[in-house]
């Protein structure tokens, strides 16, 4: 299998965690921001990554969207499972995944790129890196007001996540699921931001555990 990705994308990290958890061999192809849509549009009709190319007869040519990738992997190789066999718990795990995908993953992006263009500039002050950051900020409309809203959403999410992850090892049904995997992937960019490291030490311990569980190298800031 081949994974089309931006190496720094937290949604692509989510797909890599799932592939690693299931120990499915794959190669990655890192696309160039700006040119990526030329390659992706004909494959999926979308411009976003991750995109998985199963490269196997009898399977779809390309699967776009991290949730669809995981759904595919779950049917391609059911064990170890990322969804509970109980239908109600399975739905609960998928609802957590969707909430993280649609709300928390984007909030993390806003807070992360705001940090990288301000106090976190020294992480990579190169012209190329700062150009990408400015392009992303413009693409997603990342400004101070939007970032303030994103921070509020993250505070709420981390309160709920803390209530769960600090009292039990897993979010749903007493087993590792797509919910834990998605939370770890989509919150991992916060590891570079000192205030989050200070206020939520349990979060980064859990992100490390999930990466180890999924045989995936740790994200920047935790390695």
Ligand X SMILES: N[C@@H](CCC(=O)N[C@@H](CS)C(=O)NCC(=O)O)C(=O)O
Pairing assessment for the beta strands 27-30 and 51-53 based on DSSP bridges: unpaired
Considering only 13, 44, 53, 66, the residue that binds ligand X (CB under 6 A) is: 66
CA distance 212 to 132: 30
Is 11 among the residues that bind ligand X (CB under 6 A)?
yes
- Per-residue contact flags (x/-) with ligand X for residues 12 to 41, judged by CB under 6 A: -------------------------x----
Q: What tokens were used for 178?
A: 């797509």
Distance CA 130, CA 32 (A): 15
Our finding on whether 97 is near ligand X (CB under 6 A) is: no
Angle at 13 between CA 111 and CA 124, to 5 degrees: 50
| E-state strands within 16-115 | 27-30, 51-53, 63-64
Q: Does 9 bind ligand X (CB under 6 A)?
A: yes
Q: Least distance in Å: CB of 64 to ligand X?
A: 7
Binding-site member from 92, 97, 101, 180 for ligand X (CB under 6 A): 101
Stretch 134-193 residues interacting with ligand X (CB under 6 A): none
Q: Would you tell me which residues interact with ligand X (CB under 6 A)? A: 6, 9, 11, 37, 47-50, 65-67, 101
């Amino acid at each position: 299998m081949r994974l089309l990705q931006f190496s720094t994308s937290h949604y692509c990290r989510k797909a890599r965690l799932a592939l690693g958890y299931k120990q499915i061999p794959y190669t990655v192809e890192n696309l160039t921001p700006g040119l990526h849509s030329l390659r992706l549009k004909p494959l999926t009709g979308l411009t976003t990554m991750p995109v998985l190319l199963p490269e196997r007869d009898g399977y779809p040519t390309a699967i776009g969207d991290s949730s669809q990738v995981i759904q595919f992997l779950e049917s391609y190789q059911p064990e170890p499972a990322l969804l509970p066999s109980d239908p109600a718990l399975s739905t609960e795990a998928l609802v957590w995944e969707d909430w993280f995908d649609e709300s928390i993953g984007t909030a993390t992006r806003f807070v992360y790129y705001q940090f990288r263009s301000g106090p976190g500039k020294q992480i990579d002050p190169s012209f190329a890196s700062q150009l990408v950051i400015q392009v992303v900020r413009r693409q997603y409309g990342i400004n101070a007001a939007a970032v303030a809203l994103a921070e509020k959403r993250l505070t709420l999410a981390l309160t709920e996540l803390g209530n769960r992850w600090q009292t039990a090892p897993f979010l749903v049904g007493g087993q590792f699921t797509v919910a834990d995997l998605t939370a770890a992937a989509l919150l991992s960019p916060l590891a570079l931001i000192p205030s989050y490291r200070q206020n939520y030490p349990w979060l980064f311990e859990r992100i490390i555990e999930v990466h180890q569980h999924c045989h995936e190298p740790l994200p920047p800031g935790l390695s």
